[in-house]
Structure 1
Amino acid sequence: MFYLTYNILSLFLLIPALFYHLYRSVNRGRPPALGERFGRIPTEDLAKINGRPVIWLHAVSVGEAIASRPLLKALRQRYPGHAIVMSTTTETGRSLAADFPDKDICIYFPFDFLPAVRRTLNRIRPDLIIIMETEIWPNFTREAHRRGIPLILANGRISDRSFTGYLRFSWFFRHPLRLFSRLCMQSTADARRIIAIGAPPERVLVGGNLKYDIPFRQIPGSERQALRHRYAIPHELTVITAASTHAGEEEPVIASYRELMASRDNLFLVLVPRHPERCSEVAAVLERSGIPYCRRTELDARGKLFVRGEVLLVDSIGEMMGLYALSDLAFVGGSLIPTGGHNLLEPASLGVASIFGPHMTNFREIAGLVLACGAGIQVDSAAGLTAACGRLLDDAALRRTMGANGLAMMEENGGATERHMGMIGEQFVEPVAKG
């Protein structure tokens, strides 16, 4: 009765959902790819996977795609004869995942409309499906279960903010949750929450956070200089990177930059909005502030080096790790406003000290660890951001110590990929090649 009711409702909701999707795609200047979302996979993509067993790895957007990379690499190493299909829901996630070398093809995840789900599964014919973090779609889950395809939730997470909502609708989520073969959660708190929502306790385990398994290393000075040369940043400047900023954060970041420059003559800011389509809005803020800037996409045509007090405005994706690597310190956005924060492990993995705001509900565990290990500074306001930046700018030894602490933290807290792969090996009996 649950699935019958759900599918009747989905018929009524499909039209408004399509209009919303089209509006968002047009508004962000990206193709809607409706055919793919209804299961029409390009023939040339299907040709790349036909005849081989298929592992399907789904990551909703950029954050999940980044977290999936250690698992993706491990899957490629463990199952070299398999085709790996990567899917995303968002356009930015797709743009990033399309460049991952360990996948065979990258597609959009289908709408949870029964004909679209069935058509996609008929064409992909997966032997194993891995869903990153918390994507729970009733039709997709039921169809995979009906076909006998092991379905695994990897790196599962239920944030403080979302738990109340999930719990309120547990009557809805318990049906698809019962169809997962295994639910591998990041922490014991996440495990308790998914069980409270309706997951079978005997199928839930704690595997740790895959984000801790991103590669980590100290960046040699020669590599840092080469990166700065690529972005036309003089080697003598002290670089602050403000990463993954949201609306309401650029103004205080720029104000802090102006204040810090008043007493320092060697500062440079790299500003990376979380959503590149917001760059025109951010550019307007810079123009009102009287701060000269250059967009990343216009950098090659610029033909000269930056100077102190200017800004590199990044309107591209997929370059974040390189930008962290050339930085002296980083502010991780989504944290000065109640967005939930972003991944502090990325700068830590490159030995870069980080600063972040009070709103880290989506990364509470990671934020606590970063603070406990002395790898970052948490501030509670824009004034606090200015003070913390000033402290780190004036103390290079402290920056180096915090960077070293971040690298030690990464080394001590890895291992989630290995635990996930062990769990996958228990559930996944390798199939023979398909005819």
Structure 2
Amino acid sequence: MGIFLYNIFLWLFRAGTHVASLFNEKAKKWVNGRKNIFKNLKATIPSGEKIIWMHCASLGEFEQGRPVIERLKINYPDYKILLTFFSPSGYEVQKNYKNADWVFYLPIDGASNAKRFLEIVQPSLVIFVKYEFWYYYLKKIKYREIPLILISALFRQDMSFFKWYGAMQRKILSRFNYLFVQNAESKKLIDNIGLSTICTIAGDTRFDRVIEIAASSKSLPLIEKFIAGKKVLIAGSTWKNDEELLQQISDFLSFNNIQLIIAPHEINKDHIEEIQKLFPGSLLYSSLSSSPQEINADVLIIDNIGMLSTLYKYAWCSYIGGGLNRTGVHNVVEAAVYHKPVFFGPNYEKYREAAELVAIKGAFAINDKDELIAQLNQFILNTSYYNESGEKAGTYVTNNGGAVEIILNYIQENRLLTN
């Protein structure tokens, strides 16, 4: 894509988002969050501060950047952290993130916007996470000779960087000082376009994050009260079709005395009510009381955000949503870290960790209720098989930790920041 086409794309995207904001809540937040953005940046960020700027597309990328931010805060306490998001789904959830000094939307890419943004922020180090490649921002960062790294990057052969028409995209990659990629396939692709000297395999920083969460997870008394010592299938980040699938196995779960906890991806009122209709007699987490009375329900719906990664530790098995959609499965490692088997739908192959877990039988892709019931039944009948699968899942996560240390070592050894 040449710069002319890129500019047309930016114009169409901005215009389309403004139109969509008239009837779409997410688009409305995207637009409103950028109103007076430069005025707000200038009023909020004092001049002369030493700043590390990290940019994430959305919530998933934030979870990859988060462990790096937390280590930077410890190792470089004199530096402030500016965290930016492209998507409302990241910003709205993490706008009060305690380890960032400032959290903003990223102004849409453009020569003028990138110039103004960098003049206000004047970062000492810029960290982009995984997939964000904004032409003008990266060009201006390079021009100003600001150290720029990409972390938890994942590349595939079908990306434009590796096509005959991808000269502009390859130019974008060359503007990074260093690329920390997740796997050998990504490294090989980068090597093949002549960037081998600025690329290394570090792994996915999400593994470090989930390992840390699992090690420091706290008890959830109301969850323990609901489970009451029974087996529980915990379904996280579910969508409508995931919930319909779970409803189809509800008789099987009841017959085998297995509880069900559903933590949907969207917790708006309409979606929660749809789930309640699918599961008559289900309870909302917000309605649970700490009183000692017995809970007479088999299905619990989590109607809040923020507890899922800890919730998974109570699972007998976990089901991760998204795999029945075109967008693909959500975060599987935050469940696998607890050494329990994981299930998800068939759309997972773009997600390295999901594919690798399936390959070692720590996770299982299912297409319908019959496949899910058959696999759950095997675990019920064969405890050693269940234990072996869970152990494979947990060990896989543990063995993939260490990316944060590699990134921090690079920053220190190359003196990108000074204490």
**TM bracket, shorter-chain basis:** 0.7 to 0.9
Deviations 1:280-316 (A, max 9, x none): 24632541x352234445556999764343331x343
| Corresponding residue number in structure 2 for 1:106 | 103
| Corresponding residue number in structure 1 for 2:15 | 15
- Measured in 2, the distance between the counterparts of 1:186 and 1:330 equals 24
| Corresponding residue number in structure 1 for 2:61 | 64
User: SS of 1:249's equivalent?
Assistant: helix
| Corresponding residue number in structure 2 for 1:216 | 211
* TM-score under structure 2 length normalisation: 0.85
Deviations 1:183-213 (A, max 9, x none): 11111211233456x5733322222221222
Query: Out of 196, 201, 220, which is 1:206 matched to?
Result: 201
Q: Could you say if the C-alpha distance between residues 317 and 76 of structure 1 is closer, same or farther in structure 2, counting changes exceeding 3 Å?
A: same
Q: Could you say if the C-alpha distance between residues 141 and 42 of structure 1 is closer, same or farther in structure 2, counting changes exceeding 3 Å?
A: closer
Question: Contact conserved, 2:329 with 2:348, CA < 8 A, in 1?
Answer: yes
User: SS of 1:81's equivalent?
Assistant: coil
- Measured in 1, the distance between the counterparts of 2:312 and 2:186 equals 29
| Corresponding residue number in structure 2 for 1:192 | 188
- Between Structure 1 and Structure 2, how many residues are aligned? 418
Mapped pair 1:54 → 2:60: no
Structure 2 residues not aligned, in runs of 5+: none
1:165-176 matches, within 5 Å, as 167=163, 170-176=166-172
1:310 is matched by which residue type in structure 2? V
Q: Could you say if the C-alpha distance between residues 79 and 248 of structure 1 is closer, same or farther in structure 2, counting changes exceeding 3 Å?
A: same
1:388-407 matches, within 5 Å, as 388-393=375-380, 398-407=385-394
Give RMSD over aligned pairs.
3.5
* TM-score under structure 1 length normalisation: 0.83
Question: Contact conserved, 2:160 with 2:166, CA < 8 A, in 1?
Answer: no
- Measured in 1, the distance between the counterparts of 2:83 and 2:234 equals 30
| Corresponding residue number in structure 2 for 1:334 | 322
Q: Could you say if the C-alpha distance between residues 27 and 116 of structure 1 is closer, same or farther in structure 2, counting changes exceeding 3 Å?
A: closer
Question: Contact conserved, 1:65 with 1:96, CA < 8 A, in 2?
Answer: no
Structure 1 residues not aligned, in runs of 5+: none
Instruction: Please state how far the C-alpha of 1:135 moved relative to its aligned partner.
Output: 0.7
Query: Out of 72, 75, 80, which is 1:78 matched to?
Result: 75
**Which has the larger displacement, 4-13 or 73-82?**
4-13
2:264 is matched by which residue type in structure 1? P
Instruction: Please state how far the C-alpha of 1:102 moved relative to its aligned partner.
Output: 2.6
Question: Contact conserved, 2:210 with 2:337, CA < 8 A, in 1?
Answer: yes
2:32 is matched by which residue type in structure 1? P
Question: Contact conserved, 1:227 with 1:326, CA < 8 A, in 2?
Answer: no
Instruction: Please state how far the C-alpha of 1:389 moved relative to its aligned partner.
Output: 2.5
| Corresponding residue number in structure 1 for 2:334 | 346
Instruction: Please state how far the C-alpha of 1:350 moved relative to its aligned partner.
Output: 2.4
Q: Could you say if the C-alpha distance between residues 13 and 243 of structure 1 is closer, same or farther in structure 2, counting changes exceeding 3 Å?
A: closer
Deviations 1:346-387 (A, max 9, x none): 112223321223221232x31343245553333343321122
Q: Could you say if the C-alpha distance between residues 23 and 140 of structure 1 is closer, same or farther in structure 2, counting changes exceeding 3 Å?
A: farther
Deviations 1:242-266 (A, max 9, x none): 11223422211221223332x22x3
Aligned-residue sequence identity (percent) comes to: 20
Query: Out of 265, 274, 277, which is 1:284 matched to?
Result: 274
1:261-410 matches, within 5 Å, as 261=254, 263-264=255-256, 266-277=257-268, 280-281=270-271, 283-287=273-277, 289-299=278-288, 306-312=295-301, 314-363=302-351, 365-371=352-358, 373-393=360-380, 398-410=385-397
**Which has the larger displacement, 103-112 or 399-408?**
399-408
Instruction: Please state how far the C-alpha of 1:127 moved relative to its aligned partner.
Output: 1.0
Deviations 1:332-357 (A, max 9, x none): 12223443322221112223321223
- Measured in 2, the distance between the counterparts of 1:308 and 1:25 equals 34
| Corresponding residue number in structure 2 for 1:41 | 40
- Measured in 2, the distance between the counterparts of 1:337 and 1:152 equals 32
**Which has the larger displacement, 24-33 or 228-237?**
24-33
Q: Could you say if the C-alpha distance between residues 164 and 82 of structure 1 is closer, same or farther in structure 2, counting changes exceeding 3 Å?
A: closer
Mapped pair 1:250 → 2:239: no
Question: Contact conserved, 2:233 with 2:316, CA < 8 A, in 1?
Answer: yes
Question: Contact conserved, 1:58 with 1:130, CA < 8 A, in 2?
Answer: yes
Query: Out of 114, 126, 131, which is 2:128 matched to?
Result: 131
- Measured in 2, the distance between the counterparts of 1:123 and 1:231 equals 49
Q: Could you say if the C-alpha distance between residues 42 and 164 of structure 1 is closer, same or farther in structure 2, counting changes exceeding 3 Å?
A: closer
2:247 is matched by which residue type in structure 1? I
Q: Could you say if the C-alpha distance between residues 369 and 12 of structure 1 is closer, same or farther in structure 2, counting changes exceeding 3 Å?
A: closer
Question: Contact conserved, 1:178 with 1:199, CA < 8 A, in 2?
Answer: no
Q: Could you say if the C-alpha distance between residues 372 and 233 of structure 1 is closer, same or farther in structure 2, counting changes exceeding 3 Å?
A: same
**Which has the larger displacement, 206-215 or 24-33?**
24-33
User: SS of 1:71's equivalent?
Assistant: helix
- Measured in 2, the distance between the counterparts of 1:194 and 1:41 equals 38
